[in-house]
Amino acid sequence: MRSTSLFWALAVIGGSLLLFAAVEIVLMVVGPVEPTWLILAFPLMGLTYGATGIEAWRRRPSNRIGLLLVLGAWCWLLAGLANVEDEVLIVVGQLAATVGIAVIVHLVLAFPPGRLPDRASRWISISAYVTTTVFEVPLWLFNPSSPAMIRDHPDLDRLAHWFQRSLGAVIFVAFVVVVVRRLMAAPPPARRVLAPLLGYGVFTAVMVPVSANVLPVLVGIDPLTLATIQLAVLMVVPLAFTLGLLRGGFAQTGELVELGASLGADLDRPELAAALSATLGDPSVEVGFWLPGRSRYVDAAGRPLDLAVGRERRRVDIDVGGRPVGVIGYDATLLADADLVRTAGRVVAIAIDRQRLDVELRASYEALRTSRARIVEAGDAERRRIARDLHDGLQGRLVLLAIRAQRLVDRVGPGDARDQAQEVRFGMDAAIEELRALVHGVMPALLIERGLEAATAELVDRMPIPTELAARVRPLPASVESTAYLVVAESLANGVKHSRADHMWVRLDVIGSELCVEIRDDGVGGAATNGGSGLRGITDRVDALGGRVDVDSPAGRGTVVRVEVPCGS
Amino acid sequence: MRVVIGEDEALMRLGLTLVLEQGGIEVAAVAGDAPTLIAEAAAHRPDLVITDIRMPPDNSDDGLRAALAIRVAQPEVAVLVLSQFVQRQYALELMSDGAAGVGYLLKQRIADIDGFLHDLKIVQTGGTILDREVAGALVERARRTDDVVEALTPRQRDVLVLMAEGNSNAAIAQRLEIAEKTVVQHTSLIYDRLGIAESDAHHRRVLAVVRFLAR
């Protein structure tokens, strides 16, 4: 529950308790009730349960002990109505008092986690509630002194009493057995704290009904004295249990186990900090995560951590295998036992460390990706350089040689020498032509000079199969353009070689921050991505630039090669 | 004839100079980048400007754009551009203003000294010359996409290519080793089929043919 809505809910509960108490007091004053201090007894008890319950609820929102105490508060406030002069209200009041005992049974069984941990506890608790409500009713039906009598039937009345008492006894025995077993199973430090508390709870739950039924017969005690003793005993319960809950001096093993289980899910830092805070029951828990690269702690939001200071603030360092991994700052008034925090820390240590691994993995993946992209770009720059050097340097030299050969042909008279010179000249032409083709294969001039769209248009033009181009692109980074061009060239070449298509289509689009290239043909299909080494090389290249290659080639229905490459802004 | 050359690569410059020397053509200036080329053309007012398409500073198509600028500023100057790989688009851009005296050749053609000098003459006197590579590519593409061209006989397509190159009827006859009269027959039929007006002026013919093939 968020703290503001919790605050208002608790304020409403507190307010209504106070209101009811006030009304009750007025009713009792009007009563009248003897002796006068009794007027205040039940309201006081109700408010004690209420105040401690609200405080426990506020401080431990995820723990139901607070709720139980508030329930108890209502029971005791209602129980006070037994002193009012109204037959119905008297019945209500006496009923409420017995339910109050059942609440204490529930409280003891659910302490400290606030939940009934096993089936036995649940059965006992349910039985206690049922016995004090449903099975209480018959006691009012056949007794003449009861305002709700339907028939005077002493036998049924005795039966009802016997039944209820027997059931109550069975429940109590089971109750004591379960509590004793739990205490035996608890680790010694926890047992030391739990035993007195639970013991007192059991004593109260057993003593009040037993004393009401047995003592007057055995000892002949004055009813007022009995009531006083009972009220005093009952009053201590909420104070003791709330104090025990808030001091938290015992291991909340159940909650820690839950924390461990929840860490199986992939929690991010804020979720982790919240889970820890909920488990420890301290909303002011701060978790710091160690950043090895920067040698300091950051909080759940990734900002540098500033652990709160204060008289009651303590910290526990968490490490894994000797390496610092995290730190927990907590409120020592809520968590008196540093061992508990340390244990919780150990539980989350692995999860925190995994966070760190996650971040490191992501960073190294990013570094890998950028390095691959750089390799592709470096390769392109190299190719460009080779193309230019070959073009500018070597081709120029060859052309010059061809010219010299031609001049030789022109200068020399007809004869063998001239024929040979002519041969040289033709040879030069062939060499120049081969060089031109080679340069074009390495990096087409048009791609460098005019960009992707122009180079693709030229490529498409020279296809032996009719090919259409639809292009809507702006100037893009060089490596993106070269990669796209290679994709088109390779796919078209594959199409011509293998697809037996009648028609091919090429589409270039810039969508958002990605270049989309699509090459389609209406051929026989059945192409595979890992088929030719050409397409695989391109897949690697596209992948290195952070793009995707998709080949869809159902047999008999043509081939579609789709490539998307991010192109920056 | 006086020419201004635009070429940044030393060996090509040397080759061009040798060829022009052999043809008795005067080289008025040599420019190493596009802005200098425009300046030298303005300063020397040559008959012809020969330039590489790829020139500094950008090393993309600076030379081509400089040539087009010169044609606008000095319409009387003929222009011949050289390129390592002939692209259809460059040819179309060069011929886009429809004026005469323009040529587009592969660099290696200059080694064919006689042929090159002959082409220079044609361009300088207002003709139009297209490298046979690009002419061939234009016709081939048209053959695939245009029924009219598809319907021509192979021989007629050869004539069409030679027309697109900027050859005169006589030159076509010589290349194909047929009579000039036969050539005229072919060209008439081609004019008819392609819907081009008959014209003797070479550059208009080339223009018309290329325009038809490039649509």
Q: What is the pLDDT of residue A253?
A: 56
**How far is residue B207's CA from residue B212's CA, in Å, rounded to a whole number?**
8
Residue pLDDT, tens place only, A101-118:
899 999 888 887 777 878
What average pLDDT does the structure give for chain A?
Answer: 82
Residue B16, both tokens? 């061009």
E-state strands within A219-358: 286-291, 296-298, 313-320, 323-331
Paired with B78 in beta bridges are: B48
Pick from A60-64, A372-376, B137-141: least confident: A60-64
Residue A491 C-alpha, separation from nearest chain B C-alpha, in angstroms: 20
The helix (run of H) or strand (run of E) holding residue A564 is strand A559-566
A327 contacts A316 by C-beta, under 8 angstroms: yes
User: Region A60-74: what's the mean pLDDT?
Assistant: 84
**pLDDT band, very low/low/confident/very high, at A250 (cuts 50, 70, 90):** very low
Given a cut of 60, is residue A254 above it in pLDDT? no
Q: What is the pLDDT of residue B68?
A: 92
Given A396, A407, A432, which is nearest B9 (Cβ)? Answer: A396
What average pLDDT does the structure give for chain B?
Answer: 86
Q: Does B143 touch chain A (CB under 8 A)?
A: no
Q: What is the pLDDT of residue A1?
A: 40
**Residue/partner pairs of A369-374 with CB below 8 Å, 24 or more apart:** A369/A544, A369/A546, A372/A543, A372/A544, A372/A545, A373/A479, A373/A544, A373/A545, A373/A546
Best of A461, A463, A467 to substitute, by most chain B Cβ atoms within 10 angstroms, is: A461
CB contacts under 8 A, B 17-46 vs A, are 18-19, 22
Residue A111, both tokens? 């302490």
Closest Cα to residue A47, out of A86, A3, A80? A80
pTM score: 0.54
Using a CB-CB cut-off of 8 Å, the residues of chain B touching A431 are: none
**pLDDT band, very low/low/confident/very high, at B201 (cuts 50, 70, 90):** low
Given a cut of 50, is residue B126 above it in pLDDT? yes
Residue pLDDT, tens place only, A14-50:
999 898 888 888 887 776 666 677 778 888 888 999 9
Share of chain A above pLDDT 90, in %: 12
ipTM summary value: 0.83
Asked if B108's CB is within 8 angstroms of A461's CB, the reply is no
Q: Does A430 touch chain B (CB under 8 A)?
A: no
**pLDDT band, very low/low/confident/very high, at B43 (cuts 50, 70, 90):** very high
**pLDDT band, very low/low/confident/very high, at A147 (cuts 50, 70, 90):** low
User: Region A403-426: what's the mean pLDDT?
Assistant: 90
Cis peptide upstream of residue A32 (ω within 30 degrees of 0) = yes
Q: Which residues contact A332 (CB under 8 A, 6 or more apart)?
A: A312, A313, A314, A338
Asked if A391's CB is within 8 angstroms of B15's CB, the reply is no
In A, minimum Cα distance to B16 occurs at A400
Residue pLDDT, tens place only, A489-532:
988 988 888 888 889 999 999 988 899 999 999 888 777 655 56
Most confident of A229-238, A250-259, B20-29, B195-204: B20-29
User: Region A417-441: what's the mean pLDDT?
Assistant: 88
Given a cut of 70, is residue A174 above it in pLDDT? yes
Q: What is the pLDDT of residue A261?
A: 67
Given a cut of 70, is residue A569 above it in pLDDT? no
Share of chain B above pLDDT 70, in %: 97
Using a CB-CB cut-off of 8 Å, the residues of chain A touching B111 are: 399, 402-403, 405-406, 425, 428-429, 432
Most confident of A379-388, A452-461, B42-51, B137-146: B42-51
